[in-house]
Amino acid sequence: MKAEQFLQKAYRSIYENDFEQAQYWFEQALAVQPDHADMHYRYSITCARSGRLDKALMHARLASALEPEQDEYKIHYDRMQSKELTNMAKKLLEDDGAFASHAETASRLLKRAAELDPLSVEAQVWLAIAYGELEQYELALQAVREASALPLDQSMALQLQELEQRFKINIDHSSC
């Protein structure tokens, strides 16, 4: 079977919301044409939607490497790297035994994640939390404000307001 036929099956599976099946068909297409950047890119998007960040990152990297002049592939690869860094930082910050000691590392990871994907609300929110743990409340407020400037749902907007209030209170208490 030709790669285009496998791709059509992948797209049909996506249309039917069967992302596992779509991934299978993308893999079949890539087995026929392993150097096809656009297939790696589309497969990466499908993997990301299915929560398979490892595969999404790998195929985003391949798409970007195969066609480095394609800005869309580079942007997507940056977004996947940002998600990976954000996830790594979240794990550090959620570690009950060493929350404060990991906050510095997490803040560096999150700062880079926000640079790679300036539209990532998640990276900005976690960056604010990391700065809060480091008692760098001005930087935490700045991260909250940057996140607030991005498109948000109402739930996230409320969470950001609460974080902002908490950091303002901490600033007031630390200046006494």
Q: What are the domain boundaries of the chain?
A: 3-69, 82-174
Work out the average pLDDT over 125-143: 95
CATH code of the domain made up of 3-69: 1.25.40.10
Using CA atoms, how far residue 99 sits from 11, 104, 105, 127, 129, in Å, is 43, 10, 11, 14, 11
Work out the average pLDDT over 37-56: 96
Whether the CB-CB separation of 51 and 23 falls below 8 Å is answered with: no
- The structure's pTM equals 0.88
Could you give the percent of the chain with pLDDT greater than 90? 89
d(CA 8, CA 17): 14
> What's residue 95's pLDDT?
79
The answer to whether 3-69 and 82-174 have equal CATH topology is yes
Q: Measuring CA to CA, which residue among 34, 32, 13, 16 is closest to residue 24? A: 13
The answer, yes or no, to whether residue 100 has pLDDT greater than 70, is no
Q: Name the CATH architecture for the domain at 82-174.
A: Alpha Horseshoe (1.25)
